Amino acid sequence: MNNSDAAEINSDDGHTTVVLKEDLDLYTVPAVRPMILEAVNDHPDRGFRIDLTRVNFVDSAGLALLLSLRKNPSLEGRLSVLVATQSHPERVLQLTRLDSYIDVISMPALPD
């Protein structure tokens, strides 16, 4: 498991999951992008999840990161995004129709 202030990486049940702990925005994307790409390269044969269940806000930089991951040939057919039901990230993915291009899995919100 790899941890930082912005994210943590877990590997279990055939998946590598990057759990983001902060908003996915212009400020945090430069910190989490290298971590995510390293995890992609370290685990080329596993399913790959980006867990946004703890994220309250996603801006255009965050959407650009998710879209770039979707376009990454090494993630073809392996990428899922976990979001809290009725959260800002879920609504943004729906409004931008990125949920049509990325496998979005809605989950119950975590208690505070």
What is the distance of C-alpha 77 from the center of its chain? 15
Considering the domain boundaries, does residue 22 fall inside one? yes
Domains contained in the chain, number: 1
What's the rounded mean pLDDT across residues 17-42?
93
In a domain, 89, yes or no: yes
Residue 112 falls inside a structural domain: no
CATH of the domain at 16: 3.30.750.24
For residue 7, give its domain range: 2-107
Using the predicted structure, report yes or no on whether residue 67 has a pLDDT greater than 60: yes
Q: Which two tokens stand for residue 42?
A: 């370290």
For residue 69, being part of any structural domain is answered with yes
End-to-end CA separation in angstroms for the chain: 23
Q: Is residue 42 part of a domain?
A: yes
CB distance 75 to 48 below 8 Å: yes
Residues 6+ apart with CB under 8 A from 42: 16
Residue 67 falls within a domain, yes or no?
A: yes
Say what the pLDDT of residue 25 is.
96
> Given a cut of 70, is residue 2 above it in pLDDT?
no
Q: Is 62 in contact with 43 (CB distance < 8 Å)?
A: no
pLDDT at 1: 43
DSSP string across 4-35: -SSEEEEEETTEEEEEE-S-BSTTTHHHHHHH
Domain-located, residue 56: yes
